[in-house]
Chain A
Amino acid sequence: MTLVAGVDIGSTTAKCILLEDGAIVGKSLAPVGVELVKDAERALEKALGEAGRERREVQAVTGTGYGRFKVTFGQYTLTEIGCHAKGAHYLFPGTRVVLDIGGQDTKAIKVSDRGEVVDFAMNDKCAAGTGRFLDVCAGALGFDVSEIGSLSLGARHPVKVTNTCTVFAESEVSAYVARGKDPKDIVAGLYASVVSRSLSLMQRVGVEPELTFTGGVSRNEGVVRTLRQRLNLSVNVSPLSQYVGAIGAALHGLERAGSPPP
């Protein structure tokens, strides 16, 4: 029996996955604050609570995400790029490209048939096209981001929204609202903007099946639908898509702890 944990401290949430002999036995997800070490501790404790396991039983903890160095109680760290490659390969072994859209980052990762990173491309310093971008623009429309997932259904004339700057996009959305544009069309425009930005990143590593979409934004059905339409390709999305980084981190610990990955 090998019990390992992966803790992913992202820009907006902390996620933890517990793997026992390669199977997920516990998970947790919570927003992060300013005390990342405590957030990481809490994420682990919560996942342990869900699994009914004790901290001392955990043989390896791996930190990932921007806050990976705050998982101070862990033994290993691995960037979220490496973790998303491993995690996506675990959930969908045929994965060759991972698109990960998180709170402030978009990454396209080319993956080998063993779940290793072959190449990757990331968005530059602007958060345009990320989860934060959708948050801000949803706010300008008067919605919470969780409410706009299916809003683009039935859009007839999607508007054009810039994908180079979050602040410009927000003002554009406000201007469309002021001009009385249908919110459906505005949201459809936002999704097209997110997807076209992701496509240019994916093209840098090369798009090929299977594509696995991960990160918080992959839970937005409108973005997933737009992506599928634009690529004319089936896109893997797991109900655990927000945990892919943490899964990859746990797998890294499992490799280190001596057991082969499943």
Chain B
Amino acid sequence: MESTSAKAPSFLSTAREQQRSMVEEYYAGLAQAGGAKRPVAYMLVGGNLTEIVRSFGYEVVFPEIVALNCAIKHVSLPNILHAESQGYGLDVCGYVKNDLGLQDLGGETPFGRIPPPDLLVCSFSGCYVYVKWWEALAEKYGCPLFMLDVPYMRDPEPQAEDRTYLIAQLKEFITLLERTTGRSFDLGELRRVLARSRRAEEGWVEYLDSGRGRPSPIEAYFEAVFYMFPINVLRGTEVAAEFYATVNAEVKERVRTGQYPVPEEKVRLVVEGVPPYPSYRTFWDFFRKWGAVSVAATYPKVGGLFDRGFLHDPGRPLESIADYSLGAYVNQSWPLRRKLIADYVKDFQADAVLIHGIKSCRSFTAGQGDLRDWLIHDLHVPTLYLESDHEDPRYFAPAQIKNRMDAFFESLGPRREPLVPPPGAP
């Protein structure tokens, strides 16, 4: 079944170019950011308060995204080693060590200098590491730290008392921002930012939904990761709002001309877990060789489960921000996460699930072993669990990962279609 015709990844060319220049401009812009004129807020992806800080004129930095950019550019290890030399242990989250190491080394990256924070906003949504990480940064920089305590999401819909609790905190946050910036809260501006966010979210959802097509015109994991940047980092800006129109026009063109990310779609996958960024291409290649395409994935939704209805609403500004924070993927209880994955398998007609566990993440990853067992034994969905790291290249063992993947795809063959082995492959 292994296809030898796998070509280089086909990206949506105009969109990819636009995305690349958006990333470059963003990092170039950061070089001048910081201080009273263009203050910098550090934020975490899950359940973030981007729209509120933007309405106060803040530039936003997401250290998790800086970390993954470092990993993909193969420059994370020196930062990690530096953090380890300061006493951070082997099992501390790689994102955290990349960030704290990088901060201590001066913030220089191949894509630009990351400015220190003027404000730290910790949306405590499911990952307890967030709290310690932001406390370490607050200690280093002595800047204000706002802790948004997001109750764990236990029910499919946000509960009224949780929403009320969050709105009360958002009001405190706004008071803090007024005090630190000397500016008054501008509800009109917040609504405008939210309207732009919503446009980006709707475009993003349209892109993700196209994975339902057979064959899928998108790679909903490896390719979608590139298009996550605007929805996560630039949400609330005009460029992000416009970007997905370009993406979706190209997806339609793909369907019209029959150009699919995997030339011969053989296996449709739902993927759960953070990618192994230090070996992103190698990992992707392992899939493409088998004609496997991701049709839906949970990871691209860490910045918001917009495809499940959590859209920002300029008509309900604080309520919708509260609902958004509550609905962060990392903040969902395991029964909700399981259901989401099972729904994706059904709705996107997937053949199998791949779970990529992260060695140094004990928040997002904990429970994935049980998820695997549940999918296999209760739902009878073939599932492969692989493990490496999102940030630390030392954990990626290509031969072992490839072996497991080959065995998995081989085993799918007899259950789906006659196995055609690769002639004299690797």
Residues of A within 8 A of B (CB): 66, 69, 72, 74-82, 112, 114, 116-120, 122, 124-125, 204, 206, 252, 256
Contacts and interface: CB of A to CB of B under 8 A. Distances in A.
Nearest to B418: A255
B425 A79 contact: no
B376 interface: yes
B132 interface: no
B406 A79 contact: yes
Nearest to A114: B414
Contact of B421 (A112, A120, A252): A252
Interface in B397-426: 397, 399-400, 403-404, 406-408, 410-411, 414-415, 421-426
A167 to B, nearest CB: 16
A120 B423 contact: no
13 contacts: A77-B425, A77-B426, A79-B403, A79-B407, A80-B403, A81-B403, A81-B407, A116-B411, A116-B415, A117-B411, A119-B376, A122-B400, A125-B400
Nearest to B425: A77
B373 interface: yes
Given A69-B426, A77-B421, A117-B410, 11 more contacts: A76-B421, A79-B410, A80-B407, A81-B407, A116-B414, A117-B407, A117-B411, A118-B411, A119-B382, A125-B400, A252-B421
Contacts of A116: 411, 414-415
Given A66-B403, A122-B404, A78 B424 contact: no
Given A78-B421, A256-B421, A124 B407 contact: no
Contacts of B414: 112, 114, 116
Nearest to A206: B377
A256 B424 CA distance: 13
Contacts of A69: 425-426
Given A69-B426, A75-B423, A75-B424, A125 B411 contact: no
A76 B419 CA distance: 12
B387 interface: yes
A82 B399 contact: no
Interface string B37-59: 00000000000000000000000
A40 B148 CA distance: 61
Contact of B424 (A74, A118, A119): A74
B373 A204 contact: yes
A81 B277 CA distance: 27
A112 B411 CA distance: 11
Contacts of B399: 66
Contact of B410 (A75, A78, A119): A78
B214 to A, nearest CB: 25
Chain B, interface size: which category? 20 to 34
A116 B400 CA distance: 21
Nearest to A204: B373
Contacts of A125: 397, 400
Interface in B166-191: none
A82 B387 CA distance: 21
A48 B403 CA distance: 29
A81 B422 CA distance: 17
B46 to A, nearest CB: 28
Contacts of A75: 423-424
A114 B423 CA distance: 24
Contacts of B403: 66, 79-81
A119 to B, nearest CB: 6
A66 B400 CA distance: 9
Most buried by B among A112, A125, A252: A125
Interface string B203-225: 00000000000000000000000
Contacts of A112: 414
B237 to A, nearest CB: 43
Most buried by A among B397, B399, B411: B411
Nearest to B410: A82
Contacts of A114: 414
A74 B424 CA distance: 6
A210 B20 CA distance: 56
A40 to B, nearest CB: 13
Which 5 residue pairs across A and B have the least CB separation, nearest first? A117-B411, A81-B407, A79-B407, A116-B414, A69-B426
Contacts of A81: 403, 407, 410-411
A72 B415 CA distance: 28
B407 A77 contact: no
B407 A82 contact: yes
B263 to A, nearest CB: 22
A112 B412 CA distance: 12
A204 B414 CA distance: 22
A110 to B, nearest CB: 9
A82 B403 CA distance: 11
Nearest to A84: B407
A174 B278 CA distance: 39
A116 B412 CA distance: 10
A124 B387 contact: yes
Nearest to B397: A125
Nearest to B369: A204
Contacts of B376: 119
Interface string B70-113: 00000000000000000000000000000000000000000000
A74 B399 CA distance: 20
Contacts of B382: 119
A204 B369 CA distance: 9
A204 B383 CA distance: 12
B99 to A, nearest CB: 26
Contact of B411 (A74, A82, A124, A204): A82
Contact of A120 (B397, B411, B425): B411
A76 B421 CA distance: 6
Nearest to A253: B421
